[in-house]
Structure 1
Amino acid sequence: MNIRVVIIDDEPLARLAVKVRLSRREGFTLVGEFGDGTSAYEGVMALRPDLVFVDVEMPGKTGLEVLAALPPAQRPMAILLTAHDGFAVQAFELAALDYLLKPVDDERMDEALDRAQQAFPYRGQHRAATSMAPKRPSFSVRAGSRTVLVPVAEVERIEADGDYATLHAQGKTWLVRERLHNLAMQLDARQFHRVHRSSIVRLDMITEVHSLTNRDALLRLRDGSVLRASRTYMPALAEALQHLDEKA
């Protein structure tokens, strides 16, 4: 059993305290940490951890808002961290595993990790069932006065355009009135991958990955176009490309 963990807290020392305690326990692997709600949301969507430690109160988007914004099927197990005892109702509504008051003592931390290990097998069954759910076969787009169905299999990449998204398929572009993060949940993760907050790419379109000094990367596609991949999405993208190579 290996539970993949993300820590979300705007206080570096608080993140460090959780990391130190995690390092003492087998069966948990830290895959990411974030200090604000916006990057945390994008990171969780990209990394898809099994468990998050999340600070309830942060500047900007709060930890509870991050959890609430995640699609229920992709919402990880959550252990809430807070300095104030006043969020039990919200924790219950979001099905949080535990609710720890700062500073967290070792005994309460161990209890929370025990709960995560007990709940993990059931979480795995739920995700497996979700991954087998039917995926969207085509996109319905407007072309003048006509409605055209664009098969998902022909889509090469998708780019955000405000409240819309632009499909790139076989040399043509189509505008879809849906946000990018909604489209990402309707696509097969074995074929498509979000590489940036503004773009999704079909994995077999990627011919080259050039790493940058800031841990971002440039992706060259089969049609010659170049896209930037954010470091937030790179670990999951590298893993997906490895699995794609193994199947080839």
Structure 2
Amino acid sequence: MFTVLIVDDEPHARQELRRALSEAPDIRIEGECGNAIEALAMIARNKPDVVFLDIQMPQITGIEMLGLLDHATMPYVVFVTAFDDYAVQAFEKNAFDYLLKPVTHDRLELTLDRLRHNRRAQDFSVLSEATRLRQIPCFGQHMVFLLKIDQVEYVESRAAGIYVVDLDGEERPTDVPLNVLQQRTPLLRCHRQFLINVDQVQKLRYVDSGLAEFVTRRGRPIPISRRLLPSIKERLGIV
């Protein structure tokens, strides 16, 4: 028995895939999502074994969504696409499982047989959209705000969660882990709780006991850990 999540912005496509998967006795469908933001929350909450993931979705594509997940702990992914030859060639070259819309019974059975007996290792590093983020999904009241990376001043990890601070100082929570933001954005790790946009750094200031901190263009001090200070100075060309 394995659990499945369906992610597709087309309700009819979700319905058809759910109906086809429901015929398999060893599959439990955890749910379905109409966009990447909903999918991120459901994956974190339900931890499905397999995600059937549509590629062409508005705002955040299916492949871009993979960049928001920790590849070390993410579920197995079966891509679903209505087109095109280029995408199919890329999937075949890198041994990704995929389904073409409209999904046929025989092709789905082949995919399910692979899932049951021979799930292949998935290396998402070969998909550039899955290894870099152009924007960070942040949450407000009854809305999701997509903040572009160049509009970020810093990111802070707090007891209440991860908060992204923009150039105006507005704070927004996000579900994207700090380590994922470190790996897939140009933001610099300067402290175990902070990432900073180096383009927004006004100066590096030394404080007591050999410690240091960044000061942003907006005047916000951001701590630098003693352990990371040498590598940060080297990266910024500070002697």
TM-score (normalised: structure 2): 0.50
Larger Rg: 2
